Structure 1
Amino acid sequence: MTEAAVPLDQAAAPPARRPLVILWVRAWRQTRTKIGFVLVLLLVAIALIGPYFAPHSPSDFAGAPYSPSSGTFGTDNLGRDVLSRFLWGGRSILGLAVAATAIGLTLGITIGLVAAYSRSILDDFLMRGMDMILAFPAIVLALVAVATVGPQLWLLVLAVGFTTAPRVARVTRGAALEVVERDFVRAAEAIGESRRKILLGEILPNVTSPLTVEASLRLTYAVGLIAGLSFLGFGLQPPAADWGLMINENRQGLTVQPWGVVLPVLAIALLTIGTSLIGDGLSRAAAGIDRGAE
């Protein structure tokens, strides 16, 4: 008894790539995505390895306050080396932004998947709750939470993540509504798969493309919001080094010694632009707009 012959074209066919991989490949063809990746990589490298090249400790005094001649970029309002504080100050804002984005994505994706799959009044209840949160400015909610308890970093991360979740939930629900009606979801229900396995194993992998785009946008949002809260004094407290805190500390000496403000502002701006370019490239790739020359 001989085995059935396998067609040559079927045997030689390469394995199908995952939708997320296809999305990244299409996005990488665009110049904007490459520029954004380089900018983000540069700022991440400065934040991670910059402290090893700092000429001073972030709290060491290097000269007179607002001295433009001390060190590479002068000194800050207390006479500390601006370059050293800049190299030390990136870890906090990046770490807090990534943690807040992760919390927001986890909450938002969970709520969005449950709402889309419930097919009941639970959908309306969850989404109306998200609408109530969206009705308030995010920075106001974060300020109320931090001002009530105090400038605790864990609370800052939770507050920013909480304000991020509603937008992620709406995107997740919108993408999952079409998926929950597909035949493979019905088949999984028919064979008795658990709801958790259906949500995570059947629905979630089919909405990863829009969620990847949303994740990059939420990271941009978290960077800006955390930097703003640090500028207002609700992030890391002195004498810690933080880009948002540096802007607040040195704004009064901007006309005398601008580097204490210019360096962190430039870093935050480039980081925001980089993540925005990556998100724009991913969204264009998801929409089928492949313009590599742009």
Structure 2
Amino acid sequence: MTTANITIAPTVPDVGSHRIGRNTQLLVGAVGSCVLVLLALLGPFLTPHAPADIVGAPFRPPGNGLPLGTDYLGQDVLSRVLAGGRSVVWMSVATTALGVALGTVLGLVAGYARGYVGGIIVWLMDVLLAFPQIVFVLLFVSLLGHSPLLIVALVALGWSPTVGRLVRGVTLQTVEQEFVEAAEMMGVPRSRILLREILPNIVGPLVVQTGAILTWSIGVIAGLSFLGFGIQAPQADWGLMVNENRAGLGFQPWATVVPVLLIALFTLATNTLGEGISRRMTGLTDRNDA
């Protein structure tokens, strides 16, 4: 009796397909985000009418040189859509940048200093996290006014504890490493240790968190305008347009649907970009570990 030798080939993971998936998601998110950012930045220069000009009867349907009709005052919807994205984009990006920067500083100091100083910073971050962000922003905006810079500062302050807790957690792990202890024994200044030894180790998680915060910031900024606490008329803003024209949704939907669609697409594009960056960095980490 003969015995057949059976060789079972090991299962090889399809690394190529995962890499293609990561690259595709990253590419789609980057292209979508860039297109909408360009639309927001260049749109005000492409408007066929001044955004505040009355060009027809209120809630006029599309036609006669008005591709999207008119809004509740008789203003050209297309012109206001083209002009209304700039505020959403710059405020969302500024909010994200400021919030991430502030949270990074707080997290680095809290994680490295520890002790009394670290405890105070952690307590302050916990206090901020205890307030719902929208309630926190609305409270101060209703008292101090509707300045865009104030809104950016308040929303950024609301994001800083989220970033700070992440950075603090990574910093606490990094300060226990031998290269940090060696730098301290050599008398390297603390500021240099923070910037050159600890900060590079938190870049990966920080980039992923930044993408998520940018996505959330778009919703918060647009939501504040919708509630009437953001950009004020007669300025054009996508969130404000939704609030202004929702009464005519049944017979002239474009004045509401188009800005809602653009906000949703911008949010989806930035979220896809953030997910793509996260998966890309995860793939690079797995490859290095291998």
Which of 59, 69, 85 in structure 1 is aligned with 2:62?
69
State yes or no: 1:283 paired with 2:290.
Answer: no
Aligned equivalents of 2:142, 2:36: Cα separation in 1? 30
Gaps of 5+ in 2: 1-18, 286-290
Query: Is contact 1:230-1:245 (8 Å) kept?
Result: yes
State the Cα distance separating 1:139 from its structure 2 match: 0.5
Change in Cα spacing, 1:27 to 1:108, as seen in structure 2 (3 Å) is: farther
Aligned equivalents of 2:114, 2:161: Cα separation in 1? 19
Which of 32, 39, 43 in structure 1 is aligned with 2:32?
39
State the Cα distance separating 1:27 from its structure 2 match: 9.6
Partner of 1:15: none
TM-score (normalizing by structure 1) = 0.86
Report Cα offsets for 1:162-199 as digits up to 9, x if no partner: 10101000111112222112222222222222211111
Partner of 2:241: 246
State the Cα distance separating 1:282 from its structure 2 match: 2.3
Partner of 1:203: 198
TM-score (normalizing by structure 2) = 0.87
State yes or no: 1:100 paired with 2:95.
Answer: yes
Change in Cα spacing, 1:102 to 1:125, as seen in structure 2 (3 Å) is: same
State the Cα distance separating 1:30 from its structure 2 match: 3.1
Query: Percent identical across equivalent pairs?
Result: 49
Aligned equivalents of 1:214, 1:256: Cα separation in 2? 41
Gaps of 5+ in 1: 1-25
Partner of 1:9: none
Number of equivalences: 265
Which of 32, 46, 51 in structure 1 is aligned with 2:44?
51
Query: Is contact 1:209-1:286 (8 Å) kept?
Result: yes
Query: Is contact 2:212-2:271 (8 Å) kept?
Result: yes
Change in Cα spacing, 1:124 to 1:27, as seen in structure 2 (3 Å) is: farther
State yes or no: 1:235 paired with 2:230.
Answer: yes
Query: Is contact 2:22-2:279 (8 Å) kept?
Result: no
Partner of 2:9: none
State yes or no: 1:83 paired with 2:83.
Answer: no
Aligned equivalents of 2:20, 2:90: Cα separation in 1? 25
Partner of 1:178: 173
State yes or no: 1:271 paired with 2:234.
Answer: no
Partner of 2:4: none
Report Cα offsets for 1:126-175 as digits up to 9, x if no partner: 22221221122110101001011111111101110010101000111112
Query: What is the root-mean-square deviation in Å for CA atoms of aligned residues?
Result: 1.8
Partner of 1:138: 133
Aligned equivalents of 1:140, 1:284: Cα separation in 2? 33
- Structure 1 stretches of at least 4 aligned residues deviating more than 6 Å after TM superposition: none
Aligned equivalents of 1:210, 1:282: Cα separation in 2? 10
Bigger-Rg structure (1/2): 2
State the Cα distance separating 1:289 from its structure 2 match: 8.7
* AA in 2 matched with 1:60: D
